[in-house]
Every structure is written in C-alpha cells, then in structure tokens.
Structure 1
Amino acid sequence: MPTSLPPDAPMLVLAAPGSVEGVAAEIAAVVRVDNPQIEVRLSSLAELAGTLPAGRDAVVVPLVTWADPMVMAEIGKAVAASGSGAVVTEPLGPHPLLAEALHIRLAERGLARADRVRLLNVSSPVDAVILGTAGGEQAVGAVQPTAVLLASRLTLPVVAASLDSEPGVAVAAQRLRAAGAQRLAIAPCLIGHEAPEGIVAEAAASIDAGHAEPLGAHGAIAELVARAYGSQLAT
C-alpha cells in the first residue's frame, strides 16, 4: 500500500453483510488508523448504492471470508444501481493471513499453542479442529483451502463444517471422534456479522467442544482489506 495517494484516489468502501455497528465499525476504524492516506466508508448492503461516491472511483471490499453468492449479488446490484463504476474486490479468504488470525483466536482461548512448532514433549490442547462457517454446503466447500492452511499451521486435522445447516458440526465431530480425536475445538471462520450471535457457542456446546471467538477486528482482517484495495490500485 502506498504511503501517500493523490486526492482523487479511489475511495475504499467496506460492504458489510450485516449491521455496520459493532464488528464492522471496529474493522473500519482499524483500517483508517492503519491507512490514513485512504478515505474509508462503511456501508451495509442495503445502503451501499447511496454510499458509493458520484463522479469518483471507488473500490468495494466485501467483509466476508468467502464469496457468498447472495452477498456478492447484492453488492453487484448496488454498484449497478449507483452508476458509479466502482470495482468490487474478491472476498478476504482464503488467505494465509486468515489462517493466522484463526490460529491466534484459538490460542487466545487456550485451544492452540501460539507458536507454530510442535515439540514432541508438549501435547496439543486439542486433537482436532472444526472450521465452522455459515452458508451451508457451498460455504463449507469455499473455506476448504482455509482449513488446509490452518491444519498446516496447527499440524492437526482441521475439518470444515456448517454452523447453520446439516450435515453440520455434529457430523464432523462424530467422524473425528471415530478416528480417535476426542478433544475438539471449533474455529469460526466468521468475521462476526454473517451469522446469528451465539451460533458458535451453541454449536460447541452441542458437541462438548471448546470454541474460539469469531475473527472480529483482528489486525489480519484489516490488512487483508488494505491488500484487496491495494491490488486494485496496482491494476
């Protein structure tokens, strides 16, 4: 990301699939602090068409970890309705930074070691991790690369599963325990506004597993937003 930009540089518009308060507002604040040279706006999908600037370029970054077709379609409709010619970036995942943030969220709950090196005389806090996502079977398929990246960091089995549809985390837990993994944890591959509050805790309780917090305003999310914007400047 350039340290300075011309006055007519594209605006960065964050498109949140849920409320613009809470997590989305926190992410926007971190992006502004880390990148003061960029004008940043935050919008819900419903208000996106009116948020996009007239007569000025804009880069829309969806605040999602996978290309949810409903979210991406709504963004596309809003851009078309605005007549702004704004460019829409890819979602924030899959990406190694996303796996890093998931690892840290697990470590914060004591469900993973903070270091990346497995020592033979140190046991892992859990035997396997379920990467929880929202959006059904399509979401599960989309986050598989992130599951592979996280498994590489943890050197543990990581299985993606849906938090909001069947077959879900219960089936994933059953398969992992049948394979010998008794201590499980759920790592939600969610920023925090994509699913009902409490869905992760409920899923974890249903399978007697620990769980990490959603990604929220982790610095890696803000960095991915800046990278998405910067990649459009480069083109």
Structure 2
Amino acid sequence: MSLPVRERSPRPGGGRHRRPVPTSLPPDAPLLVLAAPGSTSGVAADIAAVVRVDHPHIEVRLTAVADLADSLPSGRDAIVVPLLTWDDPAVLAEIHKAVAASGSGAVVTEALGPHPLLAEALHIRLAERGLARADRVRVLNVGSPVDAVILGTVGGAQAVHAVQATAVLLASRLTLPVVSASLDSEPGVPMAAERLRAAGAERLAIAPCLIGHEVPEELVEQVATAVDARHAAPLGAHGAIAELVARAYGSQLAT
C-alpha cells in the first residue's frame, strides 16, 4: 500500500531558476514557448496546461522542437523553455538552430534541472509508489521502504554526470544513498545495482529522472525487473515541473 503523499506548494528555491514570475505582466510580455522533444501530446500538453492554470497571466505556446522555427512569433519577444531535466547538448543544439533560423531573437533558457524542486518531485513520485516516506526526513531514515535509490536517466555518460547534482539533492531529502545511472546505455543500472548491493543495500528503487517522453513507457519497468528493483513513475506533469518552467521564464524576465 502506498504511503500518503502531500504535495507542497511552490516556494522560492536556491540555485537555478530561483525567480518566480511576477503576478502581473504587461500586454507585450514575452511569449513562453515550451519546446518539447518529440510529441506535444500527452505529458507535454499536460505540463503546458498546468502552467496555464497556475500562471494565467502568461501566454504559453507548446511546440515540438522539430517545429520550433515555424512556431516562434515574428515581431514579439519569446522565451523558449526546453522540456528537459538536464542540458542535453543534442536537443539544445536543435533548439538554438531553430531559433537562429526563425530570425526571431528568442531567448533559450537552461533545462529544468538540477534544482531542489526537481528533487522534491522525484521524492513524491517515489512516495506515491510506497518507495519513500512522504515527508522529508532530516534524521536517520529508520524504517525506510528501500535501502538505496538509482536515479535513472537517458543520454549516456554525459546525462549520468549531469544529473548527479539532482542525485545529491534527492539523497539529502531521503537520507539514503542515491546514485545516477543510465537506463539505456553504460554506465548502466545493472552496474549501479551491483555496487549498491555489494555495499549492503538489498532493497533498491529506480527513480526515473525523466519527464516521460524520453523513452518507451516499458523501458523503466524492464530495467527494474532485470535488477530486481521497484520503480517510481516518470515526473510527468507534476506541479513542481510546471513551476520550474515558469521560474525559467521568470529568470529571463529578470535579466
């Protein structure tokens, strides 16, 4: 049975994207363009919808990265927020190329992570599956449902390195070992699981550091089964992800 989960309201955080969006904006405020790798349906559309509900004074446009050049407005400023948990150089290169081709002069923000809000969303996704205590623990985590967590990502060694800061933030919340590993390449989850078990961590959980569009839905399940671990759901349209999108936009307004 899953532990009860309490989602916290957005609050100022340290590090990147710390500036919230002003409560009111002028009519000519930049358009927020949410750039999604792949399809704009499903989770990408859900995130855009949450941003619109939470920040109705922001005009939000959702577009696929492949269609970005044609989607950027002419004669109006725009801030492009990539729907990524880390600064994937291949996707960011596509985005910057599209912005240049459009001639719009749009500004591109960094990815959504690392950030404490991202770690909070990962924590809550684990708690929803009964794989973590629902509240942040500041003392020894006695009675934790698992012994260690593998933060799963895609994009090879570069992605594994990029999400290590998020792993540290999540480990601080859980007071458990958290290591990053690739779901689809080396250094992979099997190696991470072997090392954790050699150190005495028998009960493992995988926390996908994924929005939800990056890999086939069944990949996380297959990887977890292969290493005899349980897993959380991808981040999806969690309120913290929508808030990070808005904060990325707000940080550019401030500059």
TM-score range (shorter-chain normalised) is over 0.9
Residue identity in the other structure for 1:89: T
Provide, for residues 23-76 of structure 1, a one-character-per-residue CA deviation record: whole Å limited to 9, x for no partner. Answer: 000000000001111110001011000110001000000000000011000000
Q: Distance in 1 between matches of 2:118 and 2:206?
A: 15
Match of 1:154 among 174, 182, 204: 174
Match of 1:207 among 227, 242, 246: 227
Q: Does 1:107 align with 2:127?
A: yes
Counterpart position of 1:31: 51
The gaps in structure 2 that reach 5 residues or longer are 1-20
Counterpart position of 1:172: 192
Are the equivalent residues in 1 in contact too, given 2:171–2:178 (CA < 8 A)? Answer: yes
Question: Structure 1 residue 117: deviation in Å?
Answer: 2.1
Residue identity in the other structure for 1:204: A
- Tell me which stretches of 4 or more aligned residues in structure 1 moved more than 3 Å: 118-122
Q: Distance in 2 between matches of 1:32 and 1:187?
A: 27
TM alignment of 1:1-235, pairs within 5 A: 1-117=21-137, 122-235=142-255
Q: Distance in 2 between matches of 1:69 and 1:216?
A: 22
Among the aligned pairs, what percent are the same residue? 82
Q: For the aligned residues, what is the CA RMSD?
A: 1.1
Question: Structure 1 residue 153: deviation in Å?
Answer: 0.4
Q: Distance in 2 between matches of 1:212 and 1:197?
A: 12
| TM-score between the two structures when normalised by the length of structure 1 | 0.98
Q: Distance in 1 between matches of 2:196 and 2:160?
A: 16
Question: Structure 1 residue 120: deviation in Å?
Answer: 6.0
Counterpart position of 2:3: none
The gaps in structure 1 that reach 5 residues or longer are none
Provide, for residues 1-31 of structure 1, a one-character-per-residue CA deviation record: whole Å limited to 9, x for no partner. Answer: 1111111100000000121000000000000
How many residues in Structure 1 have an aligned counterpart in Structure 2? 235
Q: Distance in 1 between matches of 2:139 and 2:92?
A: 43
